[in-house]
Structure 1
Amino acid sequence: MPTPGEHKTVQSRILEYAQAVGWTFVPRKQAEQRRGFDPDAPAADRARSRSLFFDDLLAAKVREFNSRYIEAGGALLGQFRHLRADIHGNREFVEYLRNRGKFFDVDAKRERDLILIDYEHPERNVYEVTEEWAFHNGHHGTREDVVFLINGIPVLVIECKNANKDEAIALGVDQIRRYHRETPELFVPQQLFTATDAIGFCYGVSWNTVRRNIFNWKDAEVGKLEAKVKGFCAIPQMLGFLKDYIVFAEKDEELNKYILRQHQTGAVEAAVRRALDPLRTRGLVWHTQGSGKTFTMIKAAERLFRAPEADKPTVLLMIDRNELEDQMLKNLAALGLGNLEHAGSIARLNQLLRDDYRGIILTMIHKFRDMPANLNRRANIYVLIDEAHRTTGGDLGNFLMAGLPNATFIGFTGTPVDKTAYGKGTFKTFGSEDDQGYLHKYSIADSIEDGTTLPLYYQLAPNEMLVPHETLDKEFLSLAEAEGVADIEELNKILERAVNLKNFLKGKKRIGKVAEFVARHYRENVEPLGYKAFLVGVDREACAHYKHALDKFLPPQYSEVVYTGSNKDSKRLKAFHLEPKRERQIRKSFSKLDQQPKILIVTEKLLTGFDAPVLHAMYLDKPMRDHTLLQAIARVNRPYENEAREMVKPHGFVLDFVGIFDNLEKALAFDSDEINAIVKDLKLLKVLFKNKMASEAPAYLGLIERHFNDKDVDTLIEHFRDPERRKAFFKAYKEIEMLYEIISPDAFLRPFMDDYATLSAIYAVVRKAYSKRVSVDRDFQRKTNQLVQDQVSIYEVQRVDGLVEINAETIELIKQRQGGDATKVINLIKGIERKAEEESEDPYLIAMAERARAVQDAFESRQLDTAEALAALLREVESNETRKQEQAEKSFDGLTYFVYRTLLDAGIGNPEAVSRKIRLAFGEFSNWKRSENALRELRKQVTFALLAETEDLDRVTTLVDELFTLLDKAQRI
């Protein structure tokens, strides 16, 4: 039965669907001609140092769109070639794509914007798509599957993978990462990438291949490649990405690139439509914490500022936290906006509005206090308010709306807890003009389903550490003024009056017990996973106490205290005051896996707005509820996955020392469905683990009948020969493993340890037997890896990953070795691959390894039975021994013999003399791997040596390509 192929089932279909939505297909040869390829050059040379653009089309469009442009032909391309081949050069290119590049108008003696893409009249642009986009920079070569171009500029690459490959999408993304490393020049103009296997379809932006910033394109159903391509690659969608929805921002003094996701672009579009609607002046964007609300607001502000219909508007961006100001200003400045003001005081804000300033104003919510009524009555004033629930918490909203009576107000919030007074006020103030009470919603459940945020699991601390239920209820949960508490400052005022509650939380003996518990839990549960934690104290004094207590159980460098200091503070509190520079360094270091500190002790600072994906656990010892609780626990729900994929954060975790989560319905005035999407009791995972071990594990455990001897290994090799069976097992095992990692250590696991260890051993055998040389899957999670080292060895699992020497005795050794033929097949393949790795300068061995992998593919797909596969591999070993003998007789090295054998098989005359001549050429240009010129000259010499014996240029070109392709593969081993 035929298997799906990369080109037939994926690549060709993408090209077909792209044409259906307006892209013109350019065949590969035609595309190469338009890029200046020399058709007479050897195949690998054609891609070398050729243009990254369709030069003629780009030049024609520049002159069409810029009638005053008179630069010499090639001048613009010269500018592009001098851009840095990194994220900074890519950012400069985005400015060109957004028509913000400049050229000098000689007649007018001034600079003008250089138009590359006509966004206002998209029909004037030329939209093309091609395949097999090759490029070589002299060191590495790349061939991208599908590339989309606008006006001759490549903007999108799609990497296609076969759906029957394990981890196909991950392999595609891994290739995109390799392209960035080896041929970064490609990603100066290219802005977006996708990887698809016809089932999944993920996308991201160039220069950001971190897994948490690569997203699945949402469509109604899994699969549906046609709908996904026609949606993602639709011309209006692509123009929108390029013009509006790719953003650059600095974080920790490093430049980062992001793309707005579908829920963000949907909210921006909805907010702009509402702001420009003359009949409606209110709207509420309800996006859960951690879903990118800041970028959504910034883009909405920019779109409104640039909208011609807005007629030179005033756009007010209102934020609620001091620490957001600097970051927001940097992000706004990165948009290239000329009209941007920071209203740092009430007087400055009033002055700007009184003077009818046109542009974007960044300010804080409290700057509206005591604003005069009717300060500016214009209608084209658009107010975008972050954490909108806070404006309804007092009289700020009244001042704001009286001062700007005809403005449009769009509220943005992640926590409008609608069952509280404040929550209802948020809906009443901003959602009154929408039937559902909001303009656009992206719920917690939506974000977890999309992977924007992670599920949260909680566990209650031992009873003796929990606040007495009566005290917690009387002094906090039942207080009317605590209902819907909107920010940490309000919360602190309430807690100041909770005398018994605070005395309990700050009791010296209790703090010692909690610190010891936290230290042990962190060491056993969080640190082995590689992640970091917050310890949240009830106030600053509690934080100071916790630091002293924690240092008794953990190295002092493990933890740092971060809170806002005051001149009135006691000596104890002043001991932990931080200079701004030191605090910035602590924040930055905490966000990195390999740096200290590992635990931050906080009470108010960093509980809102701080984004560190490596933060996994929160030890909560401060009573919180509603908005404040949601904002705080959202710090631990950010996804994290490093590029090597050995660390994938499974969830966020809260260990509750107060008892809040025992009263969740009261602490979070949310609908029960929303609460269930937010946090779950860790006990549920134990039930899930138990069920999986009972329902899924037995089928696999039953394959082991002889305490894991060689016969059991043979059984596993044969049973999992089918790739679909392996895929199902790997999926089931990884789900069980993840549950184990989360739960461990716990006495609950003791009855399952033997079976889990056996299951891990099965996984180790199967994965080692069938994994390809380039693997995107990690061996084990951290805790399981230790278990495997400690316990799996008792099974004396037979090795299936090599240790078969490929030499004169191999054939006899294989025949004598115990075990089934299927295991011998796998061992031989591994042995041949290892031999090729050890002697990677020998092209013959590289070619032999390629043939061995082809045998493995045929063996797995049952095109060859076990005996046939074994026979084919033994012939390879036998042939290699014959080769070595003949090579020694002729005094050839590996390269010379490979050339000789290739020429002999191809029927080239005088193969021995020609191969020696070619070997001399390799010696003459010994730096060919590092120098483009040397490589070019070497290829020329090899070609001339062959042409001296035959006039068949096509055959010579094929032979040269084959030789250098294998040598290139040898370099990568």
Structure 2
Amino acid sequence: MAYETPSLAEDRISQVPALQVLQALGYTYLVPERALELRGGRRASVLLDAVLEAQLRKINRIVFKGAEHAFSEANIQAAIQALKSEPYDGLVRTNEKLYDLLCLGKSLQQSIYGDSKSFTLNYIDWERPANNVYHVTEEFAVERTASHETRRPDVVLFVNGIPLAVIECKSPAATAANESPVDQAVSQHLRNQRDDEIPQLFLYGQVLLAVSKNDAKYGTVGTPLKFWSVWKENLDDAALQALVDRSTAFGTEQDAGAPPPHPRRRTIGPPDLPMSVSGIDAQQRASIPETARRTASRSAGSLYNAEGSGESATPRRGSGGSAPGLLTEEPGAYDCTSRMVTAQDRALFALCRPERLLELTRRFVIFDAGEKKITRYQQYFCVRTLMDRIRQGGADGRRQGGVVWHTQGSGKSLTMVFFAKALAMTPGLSDHKIVIVTDRVDLDDQIHKTFLQTGHEVAQARSGWNLGELLASSKAQIITTVIDKFEAAVGRGDVRNESPNIFVLVDESHRSQYGPRHAKMRKALPNACYIGFTGTPLLKREKNTAVRFGGIIQPCYTIQQAVDDKAVVPLLYEGRHVPQDVDAVPLDTWFEKYTEALTPDQRADLKRKCSGTPQVQKSRQTIMRIAWDVGTHYRDTWQGTPFKGQLVTMSKAAALRYKDFLDEFGMVSSEVLISGPDDREGNEDVFDENTEEVVRFWKKMMARFGSEKEYNRQLINAFKNGDAPEIIIVVDKLLTGFDAPRNTVMYLHKPLESHSLLQAIARVNRLCEGKDFGYIIDYYGVLGKLDQALDLYGGLPSALAGFDEEDVQDALTDVSREIAKLPQRHAEVWDVFRGLTNTKDEEAFEVLLADVALRNRFYERLSVFARTLQVALSSVGFIETTPDRAVERYKCDLAFFCKLRTAVRRRYAEVVDFKEYERRVQKLIDAHVGTREVEQLTGLVNIFDADAFAKEVERVHGTASKADTIAHRTKRTLREKWEREDPAFYKKFSRMIEDTIEAFRQHRLTDAEYLAKVTEILGQVRNHTDTDIPGDLTPGTVPAAFYGEIRETLGKYEATGAGEAAKELRETPPPYGDEERPRPPLAVRASLEIDRIVREMRIVNWEDNTDVQNRMRTAIEDLLFELKGEYGVALTFGDIDAAMEKCLEIAKVRYPS
């Protein structure tokens, strides 16, 4: 039996299956050439103009005085122009304007029966998805900004000719240092969105996907790498398998004699699509068949021309006469047998089936303070559950509420925004009102700001009286308020709104959902629907109480889920003890003298208070020692990186003392953020809160900033976005609702427990580029020995005793668990070099890393080891318990491997990647190794700058290293400069370099011979010397580039028995013309004539003008037929086409208009 292994090529394992599944979901496939025709032959354009125009006519009707009327031709064109002509104002801002246009439509004036009115023309039929048309194409070539170069996203999805989704596909075998295949795909998306790339494609984009067979992530326009998300959904495996089986069974028959219309793929007529979808839920079941059947029906007849009529008569050249629509491979090129469902299939079904794509676009995309955001799966399903609940209602007319638990950092506030957006789009709720309630002024300000930034009109209650007015008003649709204002509002006596269309969203509801303040809300809004939102788990007693308010709304989103989804970073915990060296005798003497006027009982009571833990912890000596430890820890671990620290103290006076000591030590910059001296906070006592020191500080801040609001705003903004302060010192502020991604380490010197503890530590769990963990350094002993409590006793520390253990799983991990991975990760780096016999020979390490896959493995493992070592070296426990020799070994090995990485990157001409991880590794080297031991690699020097390149080569030690540096740098230059400008030259010299490298690796060349050979090749590349170019042509010119491609075609005839004739034609041509002069070889003649044709026929923007290109093709085809007869060479149509297309591709690069 013959066995054949599956292909791991990107198109075979990811791109083709994606196209097949998308067709099964109802998308009509367009070959790239057809997609280009539908956008007018212009690669700079991304709209399928003909499709868009036809659909605008189809889905829009004006209903006026009981009759339907079509929009005028002028209005159709005006709507199209509005979509095309929006001035570019940065990608996200322009995308937002076009998003509004797509969702809201275009208001246009039209006169009917002499009566001129405004009517809305829609670009997409949001209410009836099957009324739209859905297309998919691949290798969608889009011209870069101010350039004729193109980028080719793998797959693009169109709705009514508008590109709403872009997909990049990767093989699971794709390798790159520190990047998974899906992350590589994300990187391509991010590159393509840059202003100098193809931002025009993303002006209309809503859903972006990065897929590989085993993995998938999604985002939207402008989403940074760290925030690309996974989508999780319970789907029916059997139904998905049936869908995949249908997709792979899209026929394979085609006229064997007809070449495919695309270099790799062809289309066939569509089959009927009566898909079996049993087992999928009602919504999923409804989403497949109708759209798929309608699309299949359309595919059989038309891809839409400018008039919207079917194209039926004349098939395109090479189409085999088949109707456009369904993708297959060339015969035998792709195995169309059944395959198993993959993670890629699940993502495509969940995010791209037509109804879901429209729903996500319209209801689950928002713009937040200049950033575009798309829902995460837990937000989507939470809103869907809430909407299902409120539609049902109860027997008493009230809608059922409940409690939403989505862990902190998972986007709880945006879930409220998505819910508000869904309510606004729900028929029958036009008079609804949303009241968002918090229990703190700063949280009220934050949520009010969030709603404003997402484009909602929102009123913030200024007082209890104002809240009453807003509740009674029909205009205020969204209100934010602090819960305390309800008491004043209810006190008015006439504040009562009995509408069932009021939705009260209570933020951090564990603090206010169940007490007397909640009763005040109930009194004012008796029939409202109450929905609590909490970012921390519910205590056991709260779970029981929550049932009275509708129960816990599923699905919950736990801490563990958020960590698994990489929606937040894990938290590492380390307890640090500061010894208390107390000299009892002087202290007792001072105490007796100071309390002489007190009774013995009063004296004993005061002594008990002053000797308790809080007072000892506030002592000047304790604060000084902790401040020193905080300063040195931050300086050695985080200073010079983007990451910040937050110091949480017990009192305002303690906060000021910390500031004084940190300033005195001078290691870090810091600021204090507290409330005014009259506010009572947390565990603050009567001894020191209103000291003159606190009052003086407050007056100083008010003089500096002008108001408390500005004081808060400016310090928070500086901490989030500026270089200073590096550490912000707080008491109670910024412990809830504070979202600062750069905040990485929390220094905790304050007793916290339960919800307060979980809320506080979550301040450092936000995602940020280069951030692996958030760190909790506990100086108070809040969690004691965390590992011991969890592992030995199987229970929770007392500070978390009220929670169910599964609810706080993964909330914190003792730092020792991460440090325990260090020996293994150190060994894994060495494992890369296990084949070396002499580990003292640095050259052997570099030669071994010539293999790209091995080099990438080394980079990845080194990065992981370095980051783990950074965690270890920041832990006092590791330093105290690890032998000095072991610590020194880790440091020395890190220094060597970082030096090796720099050397091989230079040697093998790799582009340097300065990601945030690199900055962290460099910080580790600076603090613990020393910068002199590791040289920094800068950008690569251009080989055409002979002097600069010679100096760089001289810096490399060893003859073979110098040769490798020259070889790989030359090879990179060939790829970057000549791969498209002169493909034959590129292939020839790349092959020469590869053969030379291989000869050296096989020990057929000495080090000196290797260096001499690659130096010779370098000179030839610099001078564009090519001995294969005949004397009739000049190396480096366009005709010479054409010659290289045409010569390859003639070479085929030599290999098939026609070689002698071809060789004779090239080398000893017969007499030519009336003057009996030698005629040039066929390849030379053809190259010169094709160059003449292109130069004579090109016009401005000819690269995008299909008419000009087709005229060129006709002229070149006629020329080659003429030469075929004249020279007596049996060129086939396929060879003529291939040579013609290759020459035109070169011309587009070398002869830009």
Correspondence for 1:312 among 431, 444, 447: 431
- Shifted more, 598-607 versus 763-772: the winner is 763-772
**Are 2:1091 and 1:959 aligned?**
no
The answer to whether the 8 A contact 2:166-2:208 is kept is yes
Task: Identify the residue that residue 171 of structure 1 maps to in structure 2.
Answer: 184
Task: Identify the residue that residue 561 of structure 1 maps to in structure 2.
Answer: 672
Correspondence for 2:123 among 98, 110, 116: 116
Correspondence for 1:291 among 410, 423, 440: 410
Give the C-alpha shift of residue 846 in structure 1: 8.0
**Are 2:379 and 1:379 aligned?**
no
Question: Which consecutive unaligned segments of at least 5 residues does structure 1 have?
Answer: 38-45, 469-496, 642-647, 969-973
The answer to whether the 8 A contact 2:472-2:495 is kept is no
- Shifted more, 350-359 versus 233-242: the winner is 350-359
Compared CA separation, residues 336 and 797, structure 1 to 2 (3 A)? closer
**Are 2:35 and 1:31 aligned?**
yes
For residues 58-137 of structure 1, the aligned pairs below 5 Å read 58-61=55-58, 63-64=60-61, 67=69, 69-70=71-72, 71-85=74-88, 86-107=91-112, 109-136=116-143, 137=145
For residues 331-730 of structure 1, the aligned pairs below 5 Å read 331-333=450-452, 340-354=458-472, 359-369=477-487, 371=490, 375-392=496-513, 394-419=515-540, 424-425=541-542, 427-429=544-546, 433-434=550-551, 437-464=552-579, 500-554=612-666, 558-565=669-676, 570-577=695-702, 578-579=705-706, 580-581=709-710, 583-592=712-721, 595-641=723-769, 648-662=770-784, 665-668=797-800, 669-693=802-826, 696-700=828-832, 702-709=834-841, 712-713=844-845, 716-717=848-849, 720=851, 723=853, 729-730=858-859
**Are 2:377 and 1:262 aligned?**
yes
Give the C-alpha shift of residue 131 in structure 1: 1.7
Task: Identify the residue that residue 180 of structure 1 maps to in structure 2.
Answer: 193
Task: Identify the residue that residue 400 of structure 2 maps to in structure 1.
Answer: 281
The answer to whether the 8 A contact 1:195-1:203 is kept is yes
Instruction: Please provide the CA RMSD for this pair.
Output: 4.8
Give the C-alpha shift of residue 498 in structure 1: 8.8
Compared CA separation, residues 703 and 670, structure 1 to 2 (3 A)? farther
Letter in 2 for 1:196: V
1:498-542 Cα distance to aligned partner (Å, 9 max, x none): 994443333223222222221111110121544111122222222
User: TM-score, structure 2 length as denominator?
Assistant: 0.68
Q: Distance in 2 between matches of 1:868 and 1:240?
A: 64
**Are 2:171 and 1:162 aligned?**
yes
- Shifted more, 100-109 versus 662-671: the winner is 100-109
Question: Which consecutive unaligned segments of at least 5 residues does structure 2 have?
Answer: 64-68, 238-340, 584-608, 679-689, 787-796, 1049-1081, 1122-1135
- Shifted more, 217-226 versus 874-883: the winner is 874-883
Give the C-alpha shift of residue 244 in structure 1: 0.8
Q: Distance in 2 between matches of 1:386 and 1:499?
A: 39
Letter in 1 for 2:30: V
The percent of aligned pairs where both chains have the same amino acid is: 24
Correspondence for 1:213 among 227, 236, 239: 227
Letter in 2 for 1:129: V
For residues 49-60 of structure 1, the aligned pairs below 5 Å read 49=45, 51=47, 53=49, 54-60=51-57
1:454-504 Cα distance to aligned partner (Å, 9 max, x none): 111122223326999xxxxxxxxxxxxxxxxxxxxxxxxxxxx99944433
SS of 1:149 mapped into structure 2: strand
1:118-175 Cα distance to aligned partner (Å, 9 max, x none): 2222222222222222222542523221111112211000011222111322322222
Task: Identify the residue that residue 281 of structure 2 maps to in structure 1.
Answer: none
Q: Which has the larger radius of gyration?
A: 2
SS of 1:379 mapped into structure 2: coil
Task: Identify the residue that residue 740 of structure 1 maps to in structure 2.
Answer: 869
Give the C-alpha shift of residue 897 in structure 1: 7.9
Give the C-alpha shift of residue 628 in structure 1: 1.6
Q: Distance in 1 between matches of 2:963 and 2:100?
A: 56
Compared CA separation, residues 706 and 877, structure 1 to 2 (3 A)? same
SS of 1:382 mapped into structure 2: strand
Q: Distance in 2 between matches of 1:282 and 1:610?
A: 27
Give the C-alpha shift of residue 708 in structure 1: 4.2
Give the C-alpha shift of residue 290 in structure 1: 0.8
Compared CA separation, residues 62 and 335, structure 1 to 2 (3 A)? farther
Q: Distance in 2 between matches of 1:148 and 1:681?
A: 46
SS of 1:148 mapped into structure 2: strand
Letter in 2 for 1:406: N
Task: Identify the residue that residue 189 of structure 1 maps to in structure 2.
Answer: 204
The answer to whether the 8 A contact 1:456-1:678 is kept is yes
Q: Distance in 2 between matches of 1:701 and 1:466?
A: 51
The answer to whether the 8 A contact 1:145-1:159 is kept is yes
**Are 2:201 and 1:17 aligned?**
no
SS of 2:504 mapped into structure 1: strand
The answer to whether the 8 A contact 1:713-1:798 is kept is no
Give the C-alpha shift of residue 690 in structure 1: 2.7
Give the C-alpha shift of residue 335 in structure 1: 5.7
For residues 730-879 of structure 1, the aligned pairs below 5 Å read 730-745=859-874, 747=879, 748=882, 749-760=887-898, 773=911, 780=918, 782-783=920-921, 787=925, 827=965, 829-833=967-971, 836=974
1:638-674 Cα distance to aligned partner (Å, 9 max, x none): 0111xxxxxx101001111211121761112323344
Q: Distance in 2 between matches of 1:164 and 1:361?
A: 52
Q: Distance in 2 between matches of 1:798 and 1:18?
A: 45
Letter in 2 for 1:127: Y
Q: Distance in 2 between matches of 1:852 and 1:884?
A: 10
Compared CA separation, residues 867 and 111, structure 1 to 2 (3 A)? farther
Give the C-alpha shift of residue 715 in structure 1: 6.0
Letter in 2 for 1:149: F
SS of 2:192 mapped into structure 1: helix
Letter in 2 for 1:394: G
SS of 1:60 mapped into structure 2: helix
1:50-98 Cα distance to aligned partner (Å, 9 max, x none): 7455333343245358856334442112112221332112111111222
Letter in 2 for 1:142: R
The answer to whether the 8 A contact 1:99-1:115 is kept is yes
Give the C-alpha shift of residue 348 in structure 1: 2.7
Compared CA separation, residues 824 and 510, structure 1 to 2 (3 A)? closer
Q: Distance in 2 between matches of 1:270 and 1:919?
A: 62
The answer to whether the 8 A contact 2:30-2:135 is kept is yes
The answer to whether the 8 A contact 2:464-2:486 is kept is yes
The answer to whether the 8 A contact 1:708-1:795 is kept is no
**Are 2:364 and 1:245 aligned?**
yes
Q: Distance in 1 between matches of 2:754 and 2:729?
A: 22
Give the C-alpha shift of residue 864 in structure 1: 14
Letter in 2 for 1:274: R
Compared CA separation, residues 868 and 292, structure 1 to 2 (3 A)? farther
Letter in 2 for 1:240: E
Give the C-alpha shift of residue 707 in structure 1: 4.0
